[in-house]
Amino acid sequence: MNPETISVGIITTIVGMGVVFSVLVLLALLIALLAKMTEGKKKAAPAPAPAPVAAAPAAPADGKLSAKTVAAIMAAISAATGRPVEQLKFTAIKRVHGTQSSWANAGTSEIINTRQNYL
């Protein structure tokens, strides 16, 4: 082996490792900066609790929803959207028979919630 070839190999290795290490340090600093910039956006004021809704006795078995069920649906939608119950107006509440399983629905909900966090 030629000593000149060995020294060129060592220099190339040191320069390559230096470049990789420098880029890694730069990426770490960039990630830390982005984390600090987005940290303030995550801290939002908590939404006020929805106003209580008076419940009526259960509806007859003719397929209509009871007032308790409607109040629970309105409270859930109010909590999910962050809007007060007074701003919500429902014209109809119908049961939708989907073809997806509960696991698929849970996955879809998780994806939607994740995407809403980035808006």
Position 41 pLDDT exceeds 60? yes
The residue among 83, 14, 91 whose CA lies nearest residue 6 is: 14
pLDDT tens for 7-35 read 999 999 999 999 999 999 999 999 999 98
Backbone angles phi, psi at 77, to 5 degrees: -70, -35
Provide the pLDDT confidence category of residue 46 given band limits of 50, 70 and 90.
low
pTM score above 0.85: no
pLDDT tens for 61-71 read 556 778 888 88
Intra-chain end-to-end CA distance of the chain, in Å? 61
